[in-house]
Structure 1
Amino acid sequence: MTPRSSSRHGLWALLASALFSLVVAGCATPQATAIDNELPFDQAVVQATDGLVTQTQNLPAFLAKLETKLAKRGVVLDSMIDADSGQQTGVTRLLEQRVTARMVSRFEQFEILPFQASSLQKAQYLLTGTMTRIPGTRARKSFRLSIALTELKSGKVVAQASAIARDDGLDTNPTPYYRDSPVLVKDKIIEGYIRTSSTPPGQPADDVYLGRIATAALVNDATNLYNSERYRDALAQYQTALTSPAGEQLRVLNGIYMTNLKLGRTAEAEKSFGRLVAFGIANNLLSVKFLFNPGGTEFWSDPKISSAYGMWIRQIAREATVAKVCMQVVGHTSKTGSDQANESLSLQRATYVEQRLDAESAELGRRTKSIGMGNRQNIVGSATDDARDALDRRVEFKIVPCGA
């Protein structure tokens, strides 16, 4: 062997060794990144996003070619949510804007694609994220930001990161769809989204959520149309989603009801609310946002808020009677006021709703029971008594065995 050929052989051996090392490194499962010191919101977003992207650098997909510029990897973003309520809020929208802006501006290997059915065919990855209020005795209120990147082909989470953001007046108001929603829409699909956003790398994403991702893209589009007050277009998109294989779900049925109501289609709205209630009863998942006058048991006096309540009561009574179920009517209050007063008030409000149901169906009166939970099961817990914590003043209808 000549010196030149020996030199070439050594160079190829070195390159092969380097490539082998990269591949071996790529096969190792990245570790999730967790930043546990409290940071201002924008800094927390940067830390979480950079931690997420750093984990992808040794993935086989990014090591496939030894090139100076990697082919861009398509990423679709399913709208980020508040993990406690399942809602989109002003700050969860800000979170997704900040995360995607950071990824695009600092990491050129990523291309953010619209969350649409057509994009799912081209994208390699799915980006999800949540904000969870941290309970405890911190001097300031704070949120844990959790973001995850899932490989669509394998269904596995390939990177996950979290950071703690200080709540310096963050906008926790729900977006229009969730503000107007009569029900809590935190179902198994939303729960699956939340679990996926906290799943460690190398583990599968939630199958209930991921198996319905194509429908989620339709729902996302419809919800954006609703938020933009394009109610006719939103209704058409929700109806399209309903015809998809996984279309019968709370967010879709809820959207059809709300868009019909916005369009002044009273009969269609009542019919669609009845279908929403029937679905909720069948799945034991029906929490309705009845608002009451402060400190009282009468429904909110402003007809802009409460004009539909009579119809809601009528449809709940009708569907529960048809289904021949037994129910607990569970009242809740916000944290405002003393615990003792809230216990009493929540029971009084649940009793009022039960009496209204009984007036619609005497048969149902024998199968319902009122319970007051006070503020023990707050979802939001902000004690602001406005749109932000409307879910804390809900009335739940829980299906129980008759005779229990």
Structure 2
Amino acid sequence: MTPISLTCERRRHAAACLGTVLLALGLAGCAAPPAASSKTELPFEQAVANATDGLVAQTQKLPGFLAQVGGRRSVVIDPMIDAGSAQQTAATQALQSRVIARMTTKFESVEILPFERANLAKARYLLTGTMTRLSPGQPQSPLQIDLALTELGSGTVAAHASAVARDEGLNHTPLPYYQDIPVPTRDLVIESYVRTTATPQGQRADPYYLERIAVAPVIQQATSLYNAERYQDALAQYNAAGGSADGEQLRVLNGIYLSSAKLGRTAEAEQAFGKIVSYGIANRQLGVKFLFNPGGTVFWSEPRISGPYAMWLREIAKASADARVCMEIVGHTSHTGSVAYNDGLSLQRARYVRQRLIGESTALRDRTTFSGRGFRENIIGSGTDDAADALDRRVEFKIVGCDAAAA
């Protein structure tokens, strides 16, 4: 171990320095703690380490933490996500596992509790984390890692740290649930999670997120069961979450639909998808992952993928006609090929979807328009045309004023 006399500026401060070492409970010597935020691009492992160390270093200054010398600070983690896609991916799993390993091995005073409902009452702190691409839609651009530690009792962000990582060798494939969902899960709850994770130290976490935190462990347990192909158990948990006061979330509605479909419960799956559509209409935007054969306007040839599409279109047409809303149907493509080619292709695909909807309800002829964005609004931008960038090949249904639809 480096002698204290070498880590302090002057030997006469050795006693004070030793006291700081004891309080830090894991921070070596009197060395300055890592910066809470840095824009320097670092290798992924180093960026995670710096962000984690910066987060915990801030807690050493909090009276509540210092009073617990000799004890352990309990933390629960709401699973970390990709802020752009609102997905849990192999990369966000890697981020979370490395943060946990760093916190529990370097800082022995931190205790990570499983993300369960009972532990929300036991834990004092809630840890959230996001990974955000600094140039959205541009593959391999740097990723900002944000970590926030929120005191559950007060709702205040006790610590926040960030670092920028180079995207070198990271796997951004979504976990099975996120690969399978028909509608991206970025709703008000997820947006609130992202805002909380970006909140500076000392400020209040986003209340919309914290007010709904009690149901989050149930949703996560259901999603873990779905990823493990335990669809019956997953459905039971999604239904339990959906029955709670704060359970009307896209994550839950998607989960009920997917689990029902996997179990062959066609009627229940169709009913669940109808609720997804109604939720989207109520929130004035619905994005659906329709996959097309490469370069064309024909839906993906594999029935396992495109088999439900006829039902999806039927439910979208019915719900939008019943609600008497007007929509702009917007096509998107992945980042493969020229700008002009993809602009035309996305327009053709939006036109095709509109024609299918009108076939289901002629009332939509005067209530819909269509447009194409090509790959200009990519969320992933990898151009891999696989599960990783499926969100880029979506069709959006934007609720607009009926004057705009008629124009």
Same topology, TM > 0.5: yes
1:249 aligned partner = 249
Per-residue Cα deviation, 1:323-375 (whole angstroms, up to 9, x for no partner): 11111111011111111111111110000000000000011222011111111
**Counterpart of 1:354 in 2: which secondary structure?**
helix
Superposed displacement of residue 64, structure 1 = 2.1
Mean Cα displacement is larger for which, 279-288 or 48-57?
279-288
2:165 aligned partner = 165
Q: Percent identity?
A: 60
Choose 1 or 2 for highest CA Rg: 1
Query: Which whole-Å CA distance do the structure 2 matches of 1:273 and 1:168 have between them?
Result: 37
Query: Which whole-Å CA distance do the structure 1 matches of 2:34 and 2:403 have between them?
Result: 51
Q: How does 1:193-272 map to 2 (within 5 A)?
A: 193-272=193-272
Superposed displacement of residue 279, structure 1 = 1.1
Per-residue Cα deviation, 1:213-268 (whole angstroms, up to 9, x for no partner): 01111111111111111111110000000111111111101100000001111111
Equivalent of residue 33 in structure 1, options 22, 32, 36 = 36
RMSD (Å), alpha carbons: 2.0
Equivalent of residue 66 in structure 2, options 36, 54, 63 = 63
Cα distance, 1:373–1:155 mapped onto 2, change above 3 Å? same
Superposed displacement of residue 142, structure 1 = 2.1
Mapped contact 2:189–2:208 kept (Cα < 8 A): yes
1:302 aligned partner = 302
Query: Which whole-Å CA distance do the structure 2 matches of 1:229 and 1:101 have between them?
Result: 27
Query: Which whole-Å CA distance do the structure 2 matches of 1:35 and 1:282 have between them?
Result: 40
Query: Which whole-Å CA distance do the structure 2 matches of 1:76 and 1:63 have between them?
Result: 19
Mapped contact 1:31–1:201 kept (Cα < 8 A): no
1:101 aligned partner = 101
Counterpart check, 1:48 vs 2:15: no
1:380 aligned partner = 380
Counterpart residue identity of residue 192, structure 2:
G
Query: Which whole-Å CA distance do the structure 2 matches of 1:305 and 1:373 have between them?
Result: 24
Counterpart residue identity of residue 53, structure 2:
D
Per-residue Cα deviation, 1:52-72 (whole angstroms, up to 9, x for no partner): 00000011111225x5x2x21
Superposed displacement of residue 36, structure 1 = 2.0
Mean Cα displacement is larger for which, 365-374 or 347-356?
365-374
Superposed displacement of residue 31, structure 1 = 11
Mapped contact 1:32–1:200 kept (Cα < 8 A): no
| Structure 1 stretches of at least 4 aligned residues deviating more than 4 Å after TM superposition | none
Structure 2 unaligned spans of 5+: 1-15, 24-32
The two structures have a TM-score, normalised by structure 2, of 0.89
Query: Which whole-Å CA distance do the structure 2 matches of 1:403 and 1:93 have between them?
Result: 46
2:338 aligned partner = 338
Query: Which whole-Å CA distance do the structure 2 matches of 1:378 and 1:141 have between them?
Result: 14
The two structures have a TM-score, normalised by structure 1, of 0.90
Mapped contact 1:332–1:346 kept (Cα < 8 A): yes
**Counterpart of 1:403 in 2: which secondary structure?**
helix
Counterpart residue identity of residue 332, structure 1:
H
Per-residue Cα deviation, 1:101-159 (whole angstroms, up to 9, x for no partner): 111111111111111110000000000001111229x9963211111100001101111
Counterpart check, 1:111 vs 2:88: no
Query: Which whole-Å CA distance do the structure 1 matches of 2:174 and 2:333 have between them?
Result: 18
Mapped contact 1:253–1:275 kept (Cα < 8 A): yes
In the alignment of these two chains, the number of paired residues is: 376
**Counterpart of 2:122 in 1: which secondary structure?**
coil
Cα distance, 1:265–1:38 mapped onto 2, change above 3 Å? same
